[in-house]
Amino acid sequence: MKLILRLLAGILAGLLIGLYAPDALVRLMLTVKMALGQLIGFVIPLIILFFIASGIANLQANGGKLLGRTVSIAYGSTLTAGILAYLVASSLVPMLVESRPLQEVAGSSLTPFVVIEVPALFGVMSALAAAFIFGLGISVTGASSLKKVVDEGKGIIDALLAKVIIPMLPFYIAGVFAGFGADGSVFETLKTFGVVLVMAILMHWLYISVLYIVTGLRSGRSPWALIRTMLPAYVTALGTMSSAATIPVTLRQAKANGVTPEVANFSIPLFASIHLAGSTITLTTCSIAVMQMMPDLAIPGLLEMLPFIMMLGVVMIAAPGAPGGAVMAALGLLTAMLGFGEAAVALMIALYMAQDSFGTACNITCDGALSIWVDKAEAAEVAQAKA
């Protein structure tokens, strides 16, 4: 919650600087934004490489049919959430968001004092391919030394995100909005923010409701009773903004919903790392809104957007537990697959971080429903084996 307040303060400060401050101060903010943007761009491939490789390598440690079933259910839910979000957002956003009011900040008459280019060590797709090769290779060969490298690399990047990049985001966002204020597009941006955030949160609640209705019908129990039991986890996630930090409460409430302890102890921590339905809803919705706002981007059709949604479910495997981890992990896809530029990326970060607690709450509440699915499937398999 403190991060959200700092981001809001950054937006307000950037707005005031862009509208009323001398050009020199606006240029200073643009310089800060440029430097942080270069750092983020440099780190994106490293996030993809270390987090995905480490996530895939560590999944193998749990082994067996239960792992395969849990991962399949999590990915299916994430994919379904992303597709539904696309269908709703692509229909409503063009009606609710004014078409293309923004220009890239780089196009403003004001420029940073200095321009520093920090090219990434390798491209996003190269990082993704390497992550799969090394992650699967470690799982198959049990290469402990290489596993230690990717795990420690993940730890270093995680610390960089938690200690440097995410705390600096308010200054980055302030620079972006200073640019928008200077070129006169800031008020349209704020209007769009409100529309998109409300839409994303409503879709979170819709997906939770649909998932629990289906779960209730499948398990023969009241969907509303199941949701009511999970409310403490939802509220806790609103405060922590972290699926990992909410695991103890999620675990307790899943067991209260009748999930056997053995299945809950396995599935809930795993879902916290690999199931991000709420985050996918937000990223899909916000990306469509940003494409509607930007002059050089167009909203793609479902078949064009589907690869992006499918990859979201992969790149967010073991996304950092710190607030904003999912959007940081997804930045590579936004730039490589959707063609987002610096201003579009900045808007995505601001939009996502503003609702991060709600997206996290959706993630972990849905984890409770999916754990019931895993438990029911395990019980059916045991019964079939005994028969």
pLDDT tens string 21-31: 888 888 898 89
Which backbone phi and psi does 147 adopt, to 5 degrees?
A: -60, -40
Average pLDDT over residues 135-157: 88
Residue 104 confidence (pLDDT): 46
Helix 277-293 and helix 186-219, axial crossing angle in degrees, nearest 10: 150
The structural domain count of the chain equals 1
Whole-angstrom distance, CA of residue 273 vs CA of residue 313: 11
Average pLDDT over residues 258-262: 88
Q: Is residue 68 over pLDDT 50?
A: yes
Identity (one letter) of the amino acid at 158? D
Residues 173-187 as b or e (16 or more Cβ within 10 Å = b): bbbbbbbbbbbebbe
96-113 residue pLDDT tens: 776 655 544 444 567 788
Q: Is residue 80 over pLDDT 90?
A: yes
Block residue for tokens 């596993």: 147
Dihedral, 346, 49, 59, 238 alpha carbons, nearest 10: -20
- Of 65-74, 139-148, 191-200, 233-242, which has the strongest mean pLDDT? 139-148
CA separation, residue 174 to residues 51, 100, 169, 237 (Å): 28, 21, 8, 27
241 in Cβ contact with 360 (< 8 Å) = yes
Residue 49 confidence (pLDDT): 85
Q: Is residue 139 over pLDDT 90?
A: no
Residue 62 confidence (pLDDT): 46
Residues 6+ away with beta carbon under 8 Å from 156: 50
pLDDT band at 342 (very low <50, low <70, confident <90, very high): confident
Whole-angstrom distance, CA of residue 347 vs CA of residue 14: 13
pTM for this prediction? 0.78
Task: Number of helices (H) and strands (E) in the chain: give both, helices first.
Answer: 15, 0
Average pLDDT over residues 127-144: 85
Residue 149 confidence (pLDDT): 93
Block residue for tokens 């609710």: 96
CA separation, residue 58 to residues 48, 61, 129, 144, 252 (Å): 15, 6, 18, 11, 24
- Of 157-166, 232-241, 284-293, 350-359, which has the strongest mean pLDDT? 284-293
Residue 117 confidence (pLDDT): 84
User: Looking at per-residue confidence, does 35 or 44 come out higher?
Assistant: 35
190-236 residue pLDDT tens: 777 788 888 999 999 999 999 999 999 988 889 999 999 999 989 88
Residue 188 confidence (pLDDT): 65
278 in Cβ contact with 204 (< 8 Å) = yes
Residue 318 confidence (pLDDT): 56
18 in Cβ contact with 186 (< 8 Å) = yes
Residue 322 confidence (pLDDT): 58
Which backbone phi and psi does 109 adopt, to 5 degrees?
A: -70, -20
> How much of the chain, in percent, has pLDDT values that exceed 90?
24
Mean pLDDT of the chain: 83
Other Cβ atoms within 10 Å of 162 Cβ, number:
16
Whole-angstrom distance, CA of residue 139 vs CA of residue 59: 8
Block residue for tokens 């966002």: 173
- Burial classification of residue 146, based on how many CB atoms lie within 10 Å of its CB (0-12 exposed, 13-18 middle, 19 or more buried): middle
CATH number of the domain to which 196 belongs? 1.10.3860
Residue 243 confidence (pLDDT): 76
- Burial classification of residue 213, based on how many CB atoms lie within 10 Å of its CB (0-12 exposed, 13-18 middle, 19 or more buried): middle
Whole-angstrom distance, CA of residue 287 vs CA of residue 333: 11
By 3-state DSSP, what share of the chain in percent is helix, strand and coil, each rounded to 5?
A: 80, 0, 20
Residue 213 confidence (pLDDT): 95
243-259 residue pLDDT tens: 777 888 888 899 999 99
Residue 78 confidence (pLDDT): 92
Whole-angstrom distance, CA of residue 224 vs CA of residue 213: 8
Whole-angstrom distance, CA of residue 345 vs CA of residue 333: 11
CA separation, residue 260 to residues 66, 321, 326 (Å): 13, 26, 29
- The H or E element containing residue 357 is helix 356-386
Whole-angstrom distance, CA of residue 215 vs CA of residue 357: 24
Whole-angstrom distance, CA of residue 216 vs CA of residue 195: 32
55 half-sphere exposure, CB direction, 13 A CA radius = 28
Q: Is residue 367 over pLDDT 90?
A: yes
179-191 residue pLDDT tens: 777 766 556 667 7
Angle at 149 between CA 143 and CA 155, to 5 degrees: 135
| DSSP label at residue 299 | P
Q: Is residue 1 over pLDDT 60?
A: no
User: Looking at per-residue confidence, does 4 or 74 come out higher?
Assistant: 74
Domain carrying residue 91: 2-386
